[in-house]
Amino acid sequence: MSTELEFKGYAMTNPSEWKELTLMSFKPKPFAPEDVEIAITHCGVCGSDLHTLSQGWGQSKLPLIVGHEIVGKVTRVGEKVAGIKVGDRVGVGAQDAEYPDGTIAQGGYSTGIRAHERFVFPIPDALESRHAASMLCAGVTVYSPLKVNGAGPGKKVGIMGIGGLGHYAILFAKAMGAEVYAFTRGSSKAEDIKKMGADHIIDTNEGSDTNPFVHALQDYFKPLAGKLDILISTVDTFQPGRPISNLISMLWIHGKFISVGLPDSDNPLPPIHPFDLMFNGCLIGGSHIGSKVEVMEMLQLAAEKGIKPWIQELPMNQAKVAFEGMRSHKVRYRYVLTQDIAPVA
């Protein structure tokens, strides 16, 4: 692969039919001394892939190959790269969209990628590639704010929204020793959430369910006033008429509300009044994926604790199935695409 001038990938070429990907050849960025070239074996499907393909975050340059939860084997290493060698199994996370020479970065729904070493992470032997892939965005997106905001023994952590991000937040918060409160609409995921390790399951539909594993409470947030040290929100759509003050009222003094769900640009957070912040002095913030140090810590924690995400595997040519499953909220809980493209000769 190191002598190839072209890779292959599944690209979006028509925004009006963004779920229909076309197999095409493309030239990677020029190889630099700090670069690592990787033959891709797995790539996770992220919600941001859908936002990018559907132009929900603005227009993209075409053709476009998405995917930034990449795992594969190293086929070439630049002369200035340290700690990585040919044959190593590594992951690649989100990186620059356009390189200095004007080359557009293409993603992991493809046969290969060239990436700067800062975006390349050795995968511990104890982690399977299919499990490590989605950790490189979904995993670290929740691991980082958990770590930064002190999740651990003696801390009560709330997870709002149990999807791809939320299920990772439960797994990591429990592995870090926190007491976990999972907030979900209805009881359809209750059995899964219990198996993931949540200590409490709260129905945010306010008493509409009778599942014995779910605390179905009218005004679910009221009995939890001042309970939580951290509340991680993974949702990208807030229920109408539910002000954010309901959520932050569940925080203890100087508790943290961290939003990591990213909706399309026309779907903002609910309004908030300064009085809402006064009673507990809580802090509202976000998280920017995570640093390389945090990614390495997360992968090591997953290896040591035997953390396995709940994934559904598909060949890359069935990416459309994954898109539709995510749009209809049927995925349990993260799609991972496996390589099915013959390398360029």
Question: Each residue of 70-90: pLDDT tens digit?
Answer: 999 999 999 999 999 999 999
* Cβ neighbours of 20 (radius 10 Å): 13
Instruction: Please say whether the dihedral angle defined by the alpha carbons of residues 293, 153, 128 and 23, taken in this order, is positive or negative.
Output: negative
Mind listing the domains of the chain with CATH numbers? Answer: 7-136+291-338 (3.90.180.10), 139-286 (3.40.50.720)
DSSP of 190-230: HHHHHHHT-SEEEETTSS----TTSEE-TTTTGGGTT-EEE
Mean predicted confidence (pLDDT) in 4-8: 80
Question: How many whole angstroms separate alpha carbon 284 and alpha carbon 145?
Answer: 12
Question: Any bridge partners for residue 113, and if so which?
Answer: 38
H helices present in 152-305, as ranges: 164-175, 190-196, 244-248, 274-278, 292-305
Question: How many whole angstroms separate alpha carbon 253 and alpha carbon 306?
Answer: 34
Whether the per-residue pLDDT at 345 is higher than 60: the answer is no
3-state helix, strand, coil split of the chain in percent (to 5) is 25, 25, 45
Q: Which residue has the higher pLDDT, 80 or 187?
A: 80
Whether the per-residue pLDDT at 248 is higher than 50: the answer is yes
Check if the beta carbon of residue 241 is closer than 8 Å to that of residue 170: no
pLDDT of residue 207: 52
